[in-house]
Amino acid sequence: MKKIILTVAIAAASSGAVNAATIYEADGLKYDLKGDFQLQLRQKVGKDKDLDLEFDDIELKNRVTYDLGSDMTAFGQLDFSYDDSANDKYDGRSDLEEAYLGLSFGDIDVSFGKRDLSSDEFGVEASYEEAGDAFDELIEDGDDVIRLDANFGNVYVSASTELEAQGNSAADNDSAFDVFVAADLGVAQVGLSYLTYEAEGSNDSQEAYGVMASFDAGFAELAADYSTAELSTATDVDVYNLVATFKVAETTKASVGYNNVDEDGTDEVATWYANVTYKFPTQKNVSVFAELADSDEDDSELGYLAGMRVKF
């Protein structure tokens, strides 16, 4: 479930310790621990799906920062995700999700290691499970990433590259370069993203680009995005999302959304969803939620879920 309010992304996308618990702080050293635990009872959209109990986000995020003086900071991020292990889908891979080091120069961060690419910031969908964008079809993260994040007032810029690592047998030899830009224009927020990607063993690059926007209409936050990607030399996929998020009460918000995927050579698929989230007034990091979703695929049956989330 991604953020749809771009001003939040501008303010927080390059900050790895937002809402984290500070475990230790002394002599310019700070250690923050962030957790995100989500468990849900879910029946997937589709034909003949069974109800099951899913661990969605089971994550621990560790961040260490050192104050170097002169508005400089060194940082390290080490994140673990236990979703597959908890769902009994462990396939021998490490539970390590992100591991990178970096330097901050005021409002500019430079990082390198295993982490998300910049284009992963793209998207306005507010679903818990079903929606996505065209960038997801190519690449979302990498093991050999160099990334720059910068805040310039109301403008956030991020650019990254995944190195090919040719000749390293232990590495994924995919390569990519992307950029994401978001701006708060006051009456609206807009974002643009571009990605060029080359799969391991391929001599052809694939491109993806997208545009997103959100607008506070008072009664609701309205948002939309459009993205397209080359899946092959002869196949493209176009994806768009429409979302409206309503503040029902101080503790409760509801979202309705529409996702459309049009891939060459296959039937166009439209999905809708509606969800509600309640945050406990005494502890905003504890919430419960429910969602309904369905698609226009043949023989598709209604999907639904209900769950609980605890984070810090």
Predicted confidence band of residue 297 (pLDDT cuts 50, 70, 90): confident
Predicted confidence band of residue 5 (pLDDT cuts 50, 70, 90): low
Residue 278 pLDDT > 90: yes
Tell me the average pLDDT across 88-109: 83
- Give the strand pairing for 236-249 and 252-263: antiparallel
How far apart CA 172 and CA 162 sit, in angstroms, is 10
Residue 148 pLDDT > 80: yes
Tell me the average pLDDT across 91-115: 89
Supply the pLDDT for residue 2.
54
Predicted confidence band of residue 125 (pLDDT cuts 50, 70, 90): confident
The residue behind tokens 């994806």 is 239
Tell me the average pLDDT across 102-125: 95
Residue 58 pLDDT > 80: yes
Predicted confidence band of residue 1 (pLDDT cuts 50, 70, 90): low
Tell me the average pLDDT across 19-34: 91
Predicted confidence band of residue 22 (pLDDT cuts 50, 70, 90): very high
Does this model's pTM top 0.85? My answer is yes
Predicted confidence band of residue 79 (pLDDT cuts 50, 70, 90): very high
> Which amino acid would we find at residue 193?
S
Sketch the domain layout of the chain as residue ranges. 6-311
Residue 226 and residue 243 in contact, taking contact as beta carbons nearer than 8 Å: no
Supply the pLDDT for residue 16.
53
All residues at 6 or more sequence positions from 128 whose CB lies less than 8 Å from its CB, including other chains = 1, 40, 56, 273, 275, 289, 291, 305, 307
Tell me the average pLDDT across 150-161: 95
How far apart CA 47 and CA 259 sit, in angstroms, is 19
Supply the pLDDT for residue 78.
96
Residue 118 and residue 159 in contact, taking contact as beta carbons nearer than 8 Å: yes
Supply the pLDDT for residue 57.
82
Choose among 64, 55, 141, 137: nearest CA to 98: 141
The residue behind tokens 């936050």 is 221
Q: Which CATH entry fits the domain spanning 6-311: 3.40.50.150, 2.40.160.10, 3.40.50.970, 3.40.50.720?
A: 2.40.160.10
How far apart CA 133 and CA 192 sit, in angstroms, is 13
β-bridge mates for residue 222, sequence order:
215, 244
| Tens digits of residue pLDDT in 205-256 | 899 999 999 999 999 999 999 999 999 878 999 999 999 999 999 999 999 9
Residue 100 pLDDT > 70: yes
Supply the pLDDT for residue 181.
97
